Amino acid sequence: MIEQAGADALELNIYYIPTDPALTGAEVEQMYLDVVRDVKANISIPLAVKVGPFFSSFANMAMRLAKAGADGLVIFNRFYQPDFDLERLEVVPNLTLSNSHELRLPLRWVSILYGKVPVDFAITRGVHTYEDVLKGVMAGASVTMMASELLRNGVQRIGLIVQEVARWLEEHEYQSLMQARGSMSQQNVAEPAAFERANYMKVLQSWKFDPTGVLLR
Ligand X SMILES: Cc1cc2nc3c(=O)[nH]c(=O)nc-3n(C[C@H](O)[C@H](O)[C@H](O)COP(=O)(O)O)c2cc1C
Quote the least distance from Cβ 19 to ligand X, whole Å.
20
Quote the least distance from Cβ 189 to ligand X, whole Å.
24
Peptide bond into 79 cis (omega under 30): no
String marking each residue 27-66 x if it binds ligand X according to CB under 6 A: -----------------------x----------------
Total residues at interface with ligand X (CB under 6 A): 15
C-beta closer to ligand X: residue 147 or 162: 147
C-beta closer to ligand X: residue 94 or 175: 94
Residue type, 186: Q
C-beta closer to ligand X: residue 95 or 166: 95
Distance between CA 135 and CA 157 in Å, rounded? 18
User: Does residue 78 belong to the site contacting ligand X (CB under 6 A)?
Assistant: yes
Distance between CA 190 and CA 209 in Å, rounded? 31
String marking each residue 119-158 x if it binds ligand X according to CB under 6 A: -----xxxx------------------xxxx-x-------
C-beta closer to ligand X: residue 81 or 206: 81
Long-range own/partner contacts, residues 141-150 (CB < 8 A, 24 or more apart): 141/110, 141/181, 142/72, 142/181, 143/72, 145/74, 147/98, 148/97, 148/98, 148/99
CB atoms within 10 A of CB 84: 10
Q: Are 186 and 192 in contact (CB under 8 A)?
A: yes
**Which element (helix H / strand E) includes 58?**
helix 58-68
Distance between CA 47 and CA 36 in Å, rounded? 9
Binding to ligand X (CB under 6 A) within 81-110 occurs at 95, 98, 102
C-beta closer to ligand X: residue 67 or 152: 152
**Chosen residue from 7, 13, 30, 34 binding ligand X by CB under 6 A:** 13
CB neighbours of 29 closer than 8 A, spacing ≥ 6? 55, 61, 64
C-beta closer to ligand X: residue 39 or 189: 39
Q: Which residues bind ligand X (CB under 6 A)?
A: 13, 50, 78, 95, 98, 102, 124-127, 146-149, 151
